[in-house]
Amino acid sequence: MTSYPWTLVVAVGSLLLIAFGPQSLESQCSAEVQGDTDFQGHADFGRDVRPLLQKHCYPCHSGDEVHGDVDFRLIISTDDVAGEFETWESVVKHLNDGTMPPADEPQPTLAEREPVLAWYLNLIQSVKARPAVLKPRRLSVIEYRNTLRSVFGFDLEVAIIEAEQTLAERSLVIKLLPTDPPGKSGFKNDTHANPLTTVVWDQYSYLIDAATEQLFSLASRPQLESFVGQIKGDRLSSVQASELLRKIVTRAWRRTLPTNQIERTLAKLDGKQDAALVDAVKFEIKAALMSPQFI
């Protein structure tokens, strides 16, 4: 068994599922699960766990009858078992608390529950830390545009010449970011399905550079002065630089932060002057706007 890649097993399994329906697949796959030696904790799933599920849980959690989004019959391969870690956690909790099966249903005996609990203990002890797919939440495109606007105080617009051809969309943010897929709820601000791809990441980087350049441009001087007061000559004083960074970072993170976190950011400007000071401010603004607190 060890030499077959799991994808193959799953693919073959799926074909069988289509051909013969779930019933016939079951016996075949419990053998797969039992035969696995990589995951000690999963090895006895077919022997220790499935019988109880079949007897007490399948009536409401498989096939046509699926309550609470839990279909135990779909948990077939070792990978499925491993991937359902949170389900097992709540299964064990239900068994211990006597909350599943519901009170008016026949309850599993202690002898039936014991192997499941032992299997679970074994499972949590055998699980090794594995890199998982990190799915950070990100703002929807519209939220991103609005938040960027409230941080900088202006909208980033498509360059004029281009805008004349495509007047319909003036926002550079909306033009550059990929359209959000509809979330499970169907609302645009349901961002659970929005992937944080490298494309999105690149565009964020570009948009923030564009916004900071615009903020420091001569044309936006009034905007910059609205953050820091009147600017003498064409350089920010270090007090003004700190003031600007503090305001932008506070707006960007959108929550009250421990003062030491802001102080740590402001400390990055220490000892810098003139062009180096402006560069440092731009860099810290970008760091804040590319951080998980912002996106």
Residues at the site binding ligand HEC, with contacts judged by CB under 6 A? 56-57, 59-61, 67-68, 70, 87, 90-91, 94, 100-102, 105
Residue (100 or 288) nearer to ligand HEC, CB? 100
| Shortest distance (Å) from residue 89 CB to ligand HEC | 9
Q: Look-up: residue for tokens 């994808």?
A: 7
CA atoms within 13 A of residue 72's CA, in its CB half-sphere? 20
| Shortest distance (Å) from residue 67 CB to ligand HEC | 3
41/128 Cα distance (integer angstroms): 11
133/60 Cα distance (integer angstroms): 31
| Shortest distance (Å) from residue 100 CB to ligand HEC | 3
| Shortest distance (Å) from residue 102 CB to ligand HEC | 5
Residue (70 or 290) nearer to ligand HEC, CB? 70
Per residue in 166-191, is it b (16+ CB within 10 Å) or e — as a string?
eeeeebbbebbbeebeeeeeeebeeb
> For helices 85-97 and 110-126, what crossing angle results, to 10°?
150
Residue (113 or 251) nearer to ligand HEC, CB? 113
Residue (28 or 87) nearer to ligand HEC, CB? 87
Q: Are 42 and 6 in contact (CB under 8 A)?
A: no
Residue (57 or 151) nearer to ligand HEC, CB? 57
157, exposed or middle or buried, with CB in 10 Å at 0-12, 13-18, 19+? Answer: middle
| Shortest distance (Å) from residue 251 CB to ligand HEC | 39
| Shortest distance (Å) from residue 57 CB to ligand HEC | 3
Q: Any residues with CB less than 8 A from the CB of 253 and at least 6 apart, and which?
A: 288, 291, 293, 294
Q: Which residue is nearest to ligand HEC (CB)?
A: 68
Residue (75 or 173) nearer to ligand HEC, CB? 75
